[in-house]
Structure 1
Amino acid sequence: MKVSLVKKLSLGFILAVLGSIILASAISNYTVGNKFKDYLVDEHKEKIDNAVKIIDDLYGGQKNFSQINNDEIQRYAELQELYIEIRDLNDNTIYTSGKSYLQHRGMMGNGNMIGPMAGMMRNYSGINMGEYTEENYPLNIDEKEEGKIIVGYFGTSYLSSASVTFISTLNHSFLISAIAALIFGVIISIIISRQISKPLAKITETANEMRKGNLNVKAVVNSSTKEIVELSDSMNYLVESLNSQEMLRKRLTSDMAHELRTPLTTLKTHIEAFADGIWEPNSERFEVFFEEIDRMTKMIDDLRDLSKLEQTSIGLNKSRIDISKELEKIIYTFKPLYSKENYELDTSITPNIVTMIDVDKFKQIITNLLSNSYKYLKPNGKVKVELKNENENVVIKVIDNGIGIPEKDIPYIFERFYRSDLSRNKKTGGSGIGLTITKALVEAHGGNIYLESKINQGTKFTIHFPLNN
């Protein structure tokens, strides 16, 4: 049986609160009970010690016991609810406070007035309320024992009315506090549970919409919980990513259809012309066939290369090289191509930068970038290549003043087969995976590649390689 998050969290909070209340009450009750019992015993002992001291002070130095005024002893006995008796060495009773009020207390202790409270106190402090006890103490006069003092009391003599009231109030306080804490815990648990479950329910609803194929939804949650906000942001990012991937997939299908349709249409047209006798086969027309077939072959090779990059990690054969000299060599091979179209290829290369790198992969990276810039230059175009050491990174920049890339296309320019509308109009446009491969090769070296571009102003590619990777 599945339980909703609200019920599960609420039940968990309530059990935690209830358990805490029971544990805290038990510990507090036990601790206070022991301490209070010790306090009562000490207080009782002090009462008896005071009674003995009063008697010692009254009888001290007196030869005739019958002439002593025992009113102070009587008042103390009644006030402290004690039975006091004084006997001489011959066991004759010299003084007694009388037991009438003690017998009355004993009846009350066994009756209906204090009986329930007495039971509660026995359970609470372990003191017997109804048992009568007598204790004997020596009567010393001038450091000589002249008799004995008998102090009697019921168990209730441990407890004054204030003590009983205190214990009763304390127990009621524990009970009221427990009920109040439980109610408060239930309210807080419900509030917190709803604060957590409500945004999660919204995120779940968004996920269900995504499962149905609706990629235009968005999880909008109002929560101060960091993890829930992060989950919502991740869900929205996932929706945007899937939406972008869906758009790229549709565009890829369209692009591939376009790229394959063009050479196939050309071949079909030429073959129909041959079949109808409109054209005579010659080397020039067969050369067109070859170019179109070669174009499709390159496209298939690009697909295969890209598949290898995506399926397995790129194997690098690194070696320690002077990247400055290597970059100059690559640029030198492009100089004639640029000069043929009256393009300018400038450099600003910091010499003697040495790092670990795969030379062949590095050549492929730079070749792809220079070829890309070459394709989209305008008349009298210019490309500048920079190399420098910056913050423990090898920084390479390829800057051109070509046709640029629309801002809406920049986030997708490294996606496979993605080509902006402007590049699609160029006859020299490639398959659209050259930059995808370039990015994969750069990242395989632990580096990053960045793109900046503006329409009719040009494009700048920036590569960061770790200096010692």
Structure 2
Amino acid sequence: MTIRRQWLIMLTLTAVLAIVVNTLIFSSLINRYFQTYTTSEYNKSLSQIKSFSKIALSQNNMTTRQIEAQLASYLNDPVTRITLYKADGSVIANVSNDISSMNNMMSGMMRHRAPGTFSQEVDRTELKESGISIGTVNVTHYSSIGDSLTSMMFRSALIRTSLLSFVIVLALLIIIGLFVSRRLSRDLRNTSSMALNIDLGNQVDIPLSKIREVRIIQQSLKELKSRLKLKQKGRKRLLDEMVHQTRTPLTILKTHLEGFQDGVIDLTPEEIKTCEMQIENISSIISNMSGLLDTERKASPLRVEAFEFSHLLRRIIAGLKLQFDQKQVALSLMSHEKIMIKTDLYKLSQSIYNILTNAYKFTQPGSKVEVFFQADEKMLTIEIRDTGAGISPKEQQHLFEAYYKGSNAQTVPGEGLGLYVVKQNLEQIGGTIRVASAPGKGSNFIIRIPMTI
């Protein structure tokens, strides 16, 4: 059974129950009030009949016709007959309603009641003056006020009105129920379509429902869509990082192999170690591939080891020197102190590679790139200086954002992820990076990392 049909059935049953209970309660209260009012009016008429009868008997200047005419004015429902007697028992006046016609009217409205059930009673009152009886008045009325014609007509009208109200209210409720259920089912269909489009990755834009519960579901789906979009964006960024990280060691390997082939580079043990280092970098990237593709993980786990830092720098520079030489850019290691540090070798070397690769891209032939380092008891400071194009202060604020490329980098190949990866790697090993640069005056990247993590 659909929600719409269940809603209509529930609304109809609730409406019927509410109308029936309300009708019964109010009908009972109104009927009770009417009977009280009718009884009060009868007692008032009875008092007036007694007063007039006493006057009529005390005075001898009224004719029988006049007395009967006056008494007939009191023949209001539930009074059906008034008889006035003298003290000797003779009848002075006798007036009554047409009982047969009244019974016919009442039987027409109350056919379910048996004939003769409208019984009557007589209120007999002895009239006295100065303690002496002057006559008697008999007032005949229905034994129950509820059996009066007026009461019967009132109850009949009340029932008809209640039934008419029931029909009108029920019709209105059904119309409103159809409207509300149609709106509810429409919102639910829209919500279902929204969920399906999110699952298929399609763009969806529907107005939020005014029904609070449905609106909460739709808002939850929109939040889910945003989270999925962020996850997809994060997955793309991680894949781009992986591609970017593999590009540098592959380029170094390709350059050195071409150098071996052309006889420019001799196949010495040191050159072989340089190539082995690039192969290890590629192996590390591949081993971390599952972590990079896992969008729930913020970073790959650290692999901390102790090594001699100047030896690492010499191997990095040896791997890149051929490229720099081909571009006629001087790449030099200016510090040679032997320093032992304990950190993630891969993340540190990848960061230095990326900065040097950026320097290679944005430094013109005839320029130079120099690497300095120094250490104290706790921190190692690395400076990479170039005499390239430089970076404006405005662009320095966005330099380490993912996919950001400065105005002088729009035509340079790359995704704008190199420095973003540098910052992420350094933060994971507890380090920092900042840049000091000015347009036309080159750049100085300063890295600080703990000696031990």
Query: What displacement does 1:132 show?
Result: 1.5
Aligned ranges for residues 195-274 of structure 1 at < 5 Å? 195-211=183-199, 214-221=200-207, 224-225=210-211, 228=214, 231-232=217-218, 234-260=220-246, 262-263=248-249, 266=252
Q: Distance in 2 between matches of 1:376 and 1:34?
A: 104
> TM-score scaled by structure 1?
0.56
Partner of 1:39: 37
Partner of 1:280: 267
Query: What displacement does 1:12 show?
Result: 2.6
Segment of structure 1 superposing worse, 39-48 or 265-274: 265-274
> TM-score scaled by structure 2?
0.57
Segment of structure 1 superposing worse, 76-85 or 16-25: 76-85
Distance 1:184 1:435, change over 3 A: farther
Distance 1:40 1:271, change over 3 A: same
Aligned ranges for residues 267-416 of structure 1 at < 5 Å? 279-283=266-270, 286-287=273-274, 289-290=276-277, 293=280, 379=389, 381=391, 400-402=393-395, 405=398, 413=401
Q: SS at the partner of 1:220? A: coil
Which one-letter code corresponds to 1:173 in the other structure?
T
Which residue, out of 80, 89, 95, partners 1:93? 89
Distance 1:284 1:87, change over 3 A: same
Distance 1:133 1:115, change over 3 A: same
Q: Distance in 2 between matches of 1:87 and 1:229?
A: 84
Which one-letter code corresponds to 1:105 in the other structure?
I
Which one-letter code corresponds to 2:107 in the other structure?
G
Q: Distance in 1 between matches of 2:250 and 2:197?
A: 41
Q: SS at the partner of 1:130? A: coil
Extract unaligned runs of 5+ from structure 2: 301-367, 371-377, 431-453
Q: Deviations over 1:49-80 (max 9, x none)?
A: 22112112223477x99999633454346566
Q: Distance in 1 between matches of 2:11 and 2:385?
A: 67
Are 1:105 and 2:102 an aligned pair? Answer: no
Which one-letter code corresponds to 1:218 in the other structure?
V
Aligned ranges for residues 112-261 of structure 1 at < 5 Å? 113-118=105-110, 130-155=118-143, 164-211=152-199, 214-221=200-207, 224-225=210-211, 228=214, 231-232=217-218, 234-260=220-246
Q: Distance in 2 between matches of 1:375 and 1:204?
A: 58
Distance 1:47 1:95, change over 3 A: same
Which one-letter code corresponds to 1:185 in the other structure?
L
Q: SS at the partner of 2:171? A: helix
Are 1:17 and 2:15 an aligned pair? Answer: yes
Answer yes or no: is the 8 Å Cα contact 2:245–2:285 preserved in 1. no
Distance 1:46 1:307, change over 3 A: closer
Query: What displacement does 1:268 show?
Result: 8.2
Query: What displacement does 1:192 show?
Result: 1.3
Cα-Cα RMSD? 5.4
Which one-letter code corresponds to 1:4 in the other structure?
T
Extract unaligned runs of 5+ from structure 1: 312-339, 343-362, 383-399, 442-469
Q: Distance in 1 between matches of 2:136 and 2:425?
A: 111
Which one-letter code corresponds to 2:7 in the other structure?
L
Q: Deviations over 1:354-393 (max 9, x none)?
A: xxxxxxxxx99xx9xx99xx999975557xxxxxxxxxxx
Partner of 1:395: none
Which residue, out of 26, 29, 40, partners 1:28? 26
Q: Deviations over 1:400-453 (max 9, x none)?
A: 4336659xxx9xx5xxxx5446698499925738459979x9xxxxxxxxxxxx
Q: Number of residues paired by the alignment?
A: 346
Which one-letter code corresponds to 1:94 in the other structure?
S
Segment of structure 1 superposing worse, 294-303 or 70-79: 294-303
Query: What displacement does 1:201 show?
Result: 0.1
Partner of 1:387: none
Which residue, out of 70, 87, 90, partners 2:67? 70
Q: Deviations over 1:165-215 (max 9, x none)?
A: 44433322221111111111111111111112212202202212333xx21
Which one-letter code corresponds to 1:256 in the other structure?
M
Which one-letter code corresponds to 2:21 in the other structure?
L
Q: Distance in 1 between matches of 2:386 and 2:285?
A: 20
Query: What displacement does 1:23 show?
Result: 2.0
Distance 1:151 1:286, change over 3 A: same
Distance 1:433 1:145, change over 3 A: farther
Answer yes or no: is the 8 Å Cα contact 1:134–1:152 preserved in 2. yes
Segment of structure 1 superposing worse, 262-271 or 132-141: 262-271
Distance 1:149 1:58, change over 3 A: same
Answer yes or no: is the 8 Å Cα contact 2:19–2:166 preserved in 1. yes
Distance 1:222 1:191, change over 3 A: farther
Distance 1:10 1:436, change over 3 A: farther
Which one-letter code corresponds to 2:142 in the other structure?
F
Which one-letter code corresponds to 1:238 in the other structure?
L
Which residue, out of 67, 82, 85, partners 1:84? 82
Q: Deviations over 1:143-183 (max 9, x none)?
A: 55545432222348777766554443332222111111111
Segment of structure 1 superposing worse, 238-247 or 285-294: 285-294
Distance 1:266 1:427, change over 3 A: farther
Distance 1:19 1:158, change over 3 A: closer
Instruction: Quote the sequence identity (%).
Output: 17
Q: SS at the partner of 2:127? A: strand
Are 1:8 and 2:6 an aligned pair? Answer: yes
Q: Distance in 2 between matches of 1:375 and 1:219?
A: 51
Are 1:432 and 2:418 an aligned pair? Answer: no
Query: What displacement does 1:227 show?
Result: 5.7
Q: Distance in 1 between matches of 2:94 and 2:33?
A: 33
Q: Distance in 2 between matches of 1:427 and 1:78?
A: 108
